[in-house]
Amino acid sequence: MPHRTTPSPAPNSRTTLRTIPQTVASPVLVAWSGGLDSTVLLHLLAQDADVRGRGLRAVHVHHGLHPEADAWAAHCETLAQAWSVPLTVVRVDVARDSGLGPEAAARQVRRAAFAAELREGECMALAQHRDDQAETFLLRALRASGPDGLAAMRPWRNFANGWMWRPLLDTPRAVLRAHADQHGLHWIEDPSNADPGFDRNFLRLKVMPLLRERWPHADAALSRAAQLSAEASDILGERDGAILASVREEFGAGLSIAALRLLSPARRARLFRHWVSTLGWPPLPAEGVARIEADLLAPRDEVHDRLPGFAWHGVEIRRWRDALHAVDGNHDLPKDWSCAWDGSAPLALPNGDTLRLEGVARFPTPLRVHARQGGERILLPGRGPQHHSLKHVLQDMDIAPWHRSRMPLLRTDDGTLLAAGDRIRSAGFDLWMQAHDASLVWTLRRDHETAGT
């Protein structure tokens, strides 16, 4: 239910907002849960004529996890109308079996909802404050994070189609509470915030009060430590891009194992984390760095797995052809998928890739597109009457295994294999394509994993 308390004395501090860089005249989208912090942030921005002039709106994510979720959304809608702030309520489903835990799973879908809602060039405003920053620093330290992790939350960074802005990171929560009391604001109290079973709540409810008893300025000190870590991270990061480029293979997007071995273990660990970050993947865990060092960088005669790798959260780093490669298993074509196609229009594949026929209107008869099943054979141009194993053809052409599993095959209704992707064609199909000056084009979904391959 919306909450309001008797006003309390204001601390000797003011609620201040970081200024949006003058070079960025962005409209602002506030992530509004309806709680104290985001309500104060929206109230402050709603009173700022400059922000109003740029464009101000809010988004509320309805997780559906609490019986009062509908009431919370209704509270936000009522208050947004009173403040003349356009509000979008986004309903999401939080997977309870994702393996991430309830906090992380909710955060993941919430972040995805924010990214989808953010318009081109818009600025996403979040209400994390100094107390949150101190807790985040401690959580990262307990997970043995390095400077990048200990940098905790940044006040300003790129996000989705625009930017992410945290204007309250230097502001104590007590100041936000005083502002809410002074202006008679109403906000939502989520009862889950009182559950010490969640890591962050345990720090907030149990650990931080003890630290403040001994060190009254613990929040400020920990927040300052996060800022210093961010500065150190930025200095180290200035070389990350150049080093990453120096260890890339001459062709493709993999990292040369020989070049990696010339780096120190500490530099390699930082490079792996930077590489994963550029892919937009979940952070590489400490176990992952250790496994890559032990299993993937070993001399060839010590690598026993046919295709060794380290996987986490649906993505994987694999060793293949003396290089490390970033692989997203979500790109594989479903084994049971197939589709009739006459070539008259581009074909959207289930994994986001596309297949199109160029130079001719359509095939003489509809053909069937499907995923590899294994055991396929093909009659190749100029190779005589012998049918060849598609598996061996792919190996001979040095096509990476993860591209083989996403490769669309084209066949006739009687099962004759005509093409695999856009580089392998049967003898008869090749003659037909040449006669009509036609070509088959397989376009991979553009992302970091496919870039340069």
37 marked as binding residue? yes
Of 302, 306, 283, the closest CA to residue 293 belongs to 302
Query: Two tokens at 285?
Result: 């865990």
What whole-number distance in Å separates Cα of residue 415 and Cα of residue 422?
Answer: 18
Mean pLDDT per segment of 10 residues, for the chain of length 453 residues? 39 46 74 95 92 94 85 95 95 72 76 91 94 93 85 88 91 93 92 86 94 94 93 87 86 84 92 88 85 86 66 87 84 89 94 92 93 92 89 89 90 93 93 94 66 34
Residue with tokens 């919430």: 110
What whole-number distance in Å separates Cα of residue 252 and Cα of residue 402?
Answer: 13
pLDDT of residue 402: 85
The answer to whether residues 377 and 388 touch, using CB atoms and an 8 Å cutoff, is yes
Query: Could you tell me which residues are beta bridge partners of residue 358?
Result: 439
pLDDT of residue 384: 81
Decide: helix, strand or coil at residue 389: strand
What whole-number distance in Å separates Cα of residue 355 and Cα of residue 345?
Answer: 9
Residue with tokens 């991430």: 100
pLDDT of residue 101: 65
pLDDT of residue 14: 44
Residue with tokens 């802005």: 165
pTM here is 0.64
The answer to whether residues 370 and 408 touch, using CB atoms and an 8 Å cutoff, is yes
The answer to whether residues 270 and 146 touch, using CB atoms and an 8 Å cutoff, is yes
CA distances, 354 to each of 211, 288, 329, 441, 446 (Å): 57, 33, 17, 8, 11
307 marked as binding residue? no
What whole-number distance in Å separates Cα of residue 417 and Cα of residue 434?
Answer: 17
Q: Specify the CATH number of the domain 248-328.
A: 1.20.59.20
Residue 367 — φ and ψ, nearest 5°? -115, 175
What whole-number distance in Å separates Cα of residue 41 and Cα of residue 61?
Answer: 16
Sign of torsion over alpha carbons 279, 280, 283, 287: negative
Strand segments, DSSP code E, in 254-353 are 255-256, 309-312, 315-320, 323-328, 338-341, 347-348
121 marked as binding residue? no
The answer to whether residues 189 and 1 touch, using CB atoms and an 8 Å cutoff, is yes
CATH architecture of 2-130+152-200: 3-Layer(aba) Sandwich (3.40)
Residues 6 or more apart from 19 whose CB is under 8 A from it? Answer: none
338 marked as binding residue? no
389 marked as binding residue? no
Residue with tokens 């008797």: 6
What whole-number distance in Å separates Cα of residue 111 and Cα of residue 160?
Answer: 10
What whole-number distance in Å separates Cα of residue 238 and Cα of residue 255?
Answer: 19
The answer to whether residues 323 and 256 touch, using CB atoms and an 8 Å cutoff, is yes
Q: For the chain, what are the domain ranges?
A: 2-130+152-200, 248-328, 338-443
3-state helix, strand, coil in the chain (%, to 5): 40, 20, 40
Question: How many other CB atoms are there within 10 angstroms of residue 325's CB atom?
Answer: 22
Strands lying side by side in the sheet with 28-31: 87-91, 56-62, 28-31, 123-125, 162-165, 156-159
Of 307, 352, 306, the closest CA to residue 330 belongs to 352
Query: Two tokens at 180?
Result: 């809410």
50 marked as binding residue? no
